[in-house]
Structure 1
């Protein structure tokens, strides 16, 4: 009544949300989750000494996190940074629930709604194949060449019949055994075992590596960390 809109429709047999009701429910859930996350981060910020928590999946930083941590640690007002290496696809949730202060996320796979972010790197993708695969000797492939191949799933509700992947080592083992192939950012190459080969996928959509943090954060340490990550990314992209 206070909103001036109808949130529910009632019949003798059921109660259903209206479109306005669904919006209020979804936004309300996000607001409550954000409040819980803010409380978690506030408790962490009150600890002495101050520290940040950065979350990334294995190999999900394109080699930028190590130099970022080193340069950040050299700043006069730097704080300690704890690095949380999570399972594949978990970093966004750990940032949203307050476990982490900052995360390495990837577009188009992660949802940045309600987060602030800066782009660090845009990169092409490669097919990850076992050495005996029919395409392993190609200089490059297209997505059509991968038609009919078993591709992994990274979320339980993701369509497809491929294996559900939680860890990078699990994915590498299944590709080695010929149970699946994968399409990954090119920066994943150094993390792969020598039982696998990578082939550029010419028409795969590029991926974007982001450094992301809670919307409207006022942490000066977090702002300094983000600036450092951007500087490291710019240096890495500069011609030698």
Structure 2
């Protein structure tokens, strides 16, 4: 199976409209429709249910969509990795969220540099939860990412489970307590992880369109919100206007190292070894 019919199929499956898919692909609708019909004939199954007013995926189409995305990502990733490997100064790309490494980054890189298989490292800073896609697209070789995350096509090893703390304005009544609970903070007793970051923001934080840790801490210091964060934040971001208090009933936040399943890179393997043996500044409870 060639990649072009798969790209055509994915476009139609995502748009569920042949005209919009054709526009997205830069072709006209008739050849797109013929290509999809040909693909269905080759596979011997219908991929779409078509009517005058709608296009929907069949069960076979839904299955192919999941596999086609993986296949196309793998092709794109292979191209990008080959281009990077053939550059004049090839580097190992490590994807991390700024402030999302539990204080372990320096220890990991120090151990890695001592490994004979080590290569120069380029740090790729990314948004919340972006690391898995960067790995699948070949834009990064390895990533530090908080669980849970989409592991499709990836291998991973947990590194550390951090307790959670509440960042409170220093003048907040709860700042006088040694510990606080999720109920006292007005948060649900459910797993708290990066994908839940915005869900747990206060209305004031949403009004400010908070996007990163520095904005969160500034708003806490101004007395406009409280936020549950990883314990390592307290050690790295001490501020006179913020009181950090343990939240014993908040689930710990697990940091993992992830890499593509198909990777055979000795440098990637060396970085994984360095990460799994590094001494973090935060101890697993």
Normalising by structure 1, we get a TM-score of 0.84
Which residue does 1:38 correspond to in 2?
A: 78
Q: CA deviation at 1:124?
A: 1.3
Q: Secondary structure at the match of 1:203?
A: coil
Counterpart check, 1:129 vs 2:168: yes
Which residue does 2:264 correspond to in 1?
A: 218
Which residue does 1:98 correspond to in 2?
A: 138
Which residue does 1:173 correspond to in 2?
A: 218
Find the partner of 1:185 among 212, 219, 230: 230
Q: Secondary structure at the match of 2:175?
A: coil
CA contact 1:59–1:191 (8 Å) conserved in 2 = no
Q: CA deviation at 1:234?
A: 8.1
Question: In structure 2, how many angstroms separate the alpha carbons of the residues matched to 1:61 and 1:16?
Answer: 42
CA 1:191–1:143: 2 relative to 1, 3 Å: same
Query: Which one has a larger percent helix, Structure 1 or Structure 2?
Result: 2
Question: In structure 2, how many angstroms separate the alpha carbons of the residues matched to 1:170 and 1:106?
Answer: 20
Q: Secondary structure at the match of 1:85?
A: strand
Counterpart check, 1:206 vs 2:252: yes
Equivalent residues in 2 for 1:58-207 (5 A)? 58-108=98-148, 110-147=149-186, 159=199, 161=203, 162-163=205-206, 164-194=209-239, 195-207=241-253
Query: 4+ residue stretches of structure 1 with deviation over 6 A?
Result: 153-157
The Cα offsets for residues 91-131 of structure 1, whole Å up to 9 and x where unpaired, read as 333333322211110013x3223211111111211111111
- Unmatched 5+ stretches in structure 2: 1-40
CA 1:73–1:123: 2 relative to 1, 3 Å: same
Question: In structure 1, how many angstroms separate the alpha carbons of the residues matched to 2:283 and 2:225?
Answer: 32
**Alignment: residue pair count:** 235
Greater Rg by CA: 2
Q: CA deviation at 1:6?
A: 3.4
Q: Secondary structure at the match of 2:161?
A: strand
CA contact 1:88–1:168 (8 Å) conserved in 2 = no
Q: CA deviation at 1:202?
A: 1.4
Q: Secondary structure at the match of 2:87?
A: coil
Question: In structure 1, how many angstroms separate the alpha carbons of the residues matched to 2:90 and 2:78?
Answer: 16
Give the stretch that moved more between structures: 208-217 or 43-52. 43-52
CA 1:236–1:138: 2 relative to 1, 3 Å: closer
